[in-house]
Amino acid sequence: MTNAPDSEADLNITPEHPPATVHPSLRRIVLTGFMGSGKSTIGCLVAAHLGWTFLDLDAHIESRTGLSVPDIFAIHGEPYFRRLESTALVSALGRRNTVIALGGGTPECLTNRLLLEQTPATATIFLDAPFPDLFDRCVLQGISRPLLADPAVAADRFARRRPLYRSLAHHTIDTSALAGPDAAHALIAALAAPLKRSR
Ligand code: S3P
């Protein structure tokens, strides 16, 4: 099963409701946030609404290496995964009309943050929610995530990363009370105006 909408009917695209648009200066939309924040689900919906490509950084790494993210962690360790992640980010930011879902840890690396801040025409959106909500969502998804094995350590990571997500973001969307489609609409609406220079 996939979270991607199947058809234009699913997106309610009709002659009365044409495909959505964002400000014409934008070429990339980057979604950041902790594990379970909805980056892939919401990113897929936003891309479908705009008629853009969706790129999930983890999926990109998995298809390049032929290994799942948990296997990369288990076989090669986290530092190796982080190097692959930085390379994947450079390649993703070279694309146009693309919605990019980062991994939850991508912004921990200063080089990645500088890349995100300095790539023109690129909007960064932080999908926020309280840690207990995110943790529960991850448990419900049942996807293996190596860094969630110990909830207390995961909570520390969240606290350390949240200021980084915030400082990178042009916009923050609180997803705690929003279903995926509503969050996708809120995101698109926030990007109708040109990006402000200050974050
Ligand atoms: C990680 C998040 C995961 C994946 C890897 C490490 C992290 O991505 O990149 O397990 O450090 O938070 P999601 O945020 O898409 O789950």
How large a percentage of the chain has pLDDT more than 90?
Answer: 79
User: Does an H or E element contain 48, and which?
Assistant: helix 39-50
The pLDDT tens digits for 20-76 are 899 999 999 999 999 999 999 999 999 999 999 999 999 999 999 999 999 999 999
Q: Which long-range contacts (CB under 8 A, 24 or more apart) does 81-89 make?
A: 82/108, 82/109, 85/57, 85/61, 85/109, 85/112, 86/111, 86/112, 88/57, 88/60, 88/61, 88/64, 89/57, 89/115, 89/116
- Give the type of residue at 42: I
Q: Which atom of ligand 1 lies closest to the CA of 143?
A: 16
Q: How far is the CA of 107 from the centre of ligand 1 (A)?
A: 11
Q: How far is the CA of 114 from the centre of ligand 1 (A)?
A: 19
| Residue nearest ligand 1's atom 2 by CA | 104
Count CB-CB contacts under 10 A for residue 12: 11
Beta strand spans in 84-170 (E): 98-101, 122-128
Q: How far is the CA of 168 from the centre of ligand 1 (A)?
A: 17
| Residue nearest ligand 1's atom 4 by CA | 103
Residue 198: its pLDDT value, please? 47
84 lines ligand 1 (CB under 6 A): no
33 lines ligand 1 (CB under 6 A): no
Cβ neighbours of residue 67 closer than 8 Å, sequence gap 6 or more? 75
Residue 147: its pLDDT value, please? 87
Residue 3: its pLDDT value, please? 46
Q: Which atom of ligand 1 lies closest to the CA of 39?
A: 15
Q: How far is the CA of 24 from the centre of ligand 1 (A)?
A: 31
Report the alpha-carbon distance of residue 138 to residue 116 in Å, rounded: 26
Q: How far is the CA of 182 from the centre of ligand 1 (A)?
A: 23
User: Which residues are registered as beta bridge partners of 55?
Assistant: 100
Q: Is 116 strand, coil or helix?
A: helix
Cβ neighbours of residue 104 closer than 8 Å, sequence gap 6 or more? 33, 34, 35, 37, 39, 147, 161
Residues in the chain: 199
The pLDDT tens digits for 180-196 are 999 999 999 999 999 98
